Structure 1
Amino acid sequence: MTTRAQRRFPELEQPCAWCHAIPGEQCTRARNEPKREPHPGRRDAWVAAHTDCPACHAPAGTGCIAPTGFPYPGVHPERAQAAADTYRQALEADSRDVPERRR
């Protein structure tokens, strides 16, 4: 069973390159205080791991490529939106049979 934070932030399944949080743990600030949201790099890593990029056609599991041929910093906005839409649809489909869910 996943926690509410893991359902809200699916990127928690990726390790964080910024604060070195392990998969499943929340990101932390410089003084080891937990952050409300994961670091942007962790979100980008999750998007790149699970979604093909419609802008540069990079397959899931690889980073985006800039028009110059060099690696793109982060992910293209189109890829991030596609990942958010796919995750939202999957979450909606998984929660349809929950008896307590309001409709």
Structure 2
Amino acid sequence: MTIRPGAPMPEQLRHWMRAKAHPARSVPCPVCGAGEHQPCHLKTRNRTLTEPHPQRISDWALSTACCPACQVEPGIDCHDDGWARATVHDRRTQEAKDTAA
């Protein structure tokens, strides 16, 4: 079998290899600019972080889970009494982690 760089990887194998990665890596990071399925890094780009940036986790929760605190659907920002929040509620992040597991 010839090994070719850039050859497509079967989806089952790709899923198995990413199983240990944080599910928030499925969205790009707005802080460091890491692409989908890439680890977050420092701005100097010489150190890879073990956990995603909090804003990346917040963006992932926003796109995947409903918020039990303010009753909004995925893709809609959380709010406090009509005022938009900069981040999502902690309960929404927990809901996203529970559904990803």
Instruction: Tell me if both proteins adopt one fold, taking TM over 0.5 as the criterion.
Output: yes
In structure 2, what is the equivalent of residue 52 of structure 1? 66
Q: Point out the structure with max Rg over C-alpha.
A: 2
Amino acid at match of 1:11: A
Partner of 2:28: 15
SS at match of 1:8: coil
Unaligned runs of 5+ in 2: 1-13
Q: How does 1:1-103 map to 2 (within 5 A)?
A: 1-2=14-15, 3-4=17-18, 7-32=20-45, 33-67=47-81, 69-88=82-101
Query: Shift of the alpha carbon at 1:8?
Result: 3.0
**Amino acid in structure 2 at the alignment position of 1:39:** H
Runs of 4+ in 1 over 4 A off after TM superposition: none
Displacement of 1:73: 2.1
Aligned residue type for 2:36: P
d(CA) in 2 for partners of 1:7, 1:13: 13
Output one character per residue of 1:58-86: Cα deviation in whole Å (capped at 9) or x when no partner.
1101221122x121121111111111111
Between the two structures, name the one with larger relative contact order (CA 8 Å, sep ≥ 6).
2
Cα distance, 1:39 vs structure 2: 0.3
The count of residues paired between Structure 1 and Structure 2 equals 86
Quote the sequence identity (%): 31
Separation in 1 of the partners of 2:57 and 2:66?
15
CA drift of 1:7 comes to: 4.2
Return the alpha-carbon distance in structure 1 between the equivalents of residues 23 and 54 of structure 2: 13
> What's the Cα RMSD here?
1.4
TM-score by length of 1: 0.76
Q: TM-score, normalised by structure 2?
A: 0.77
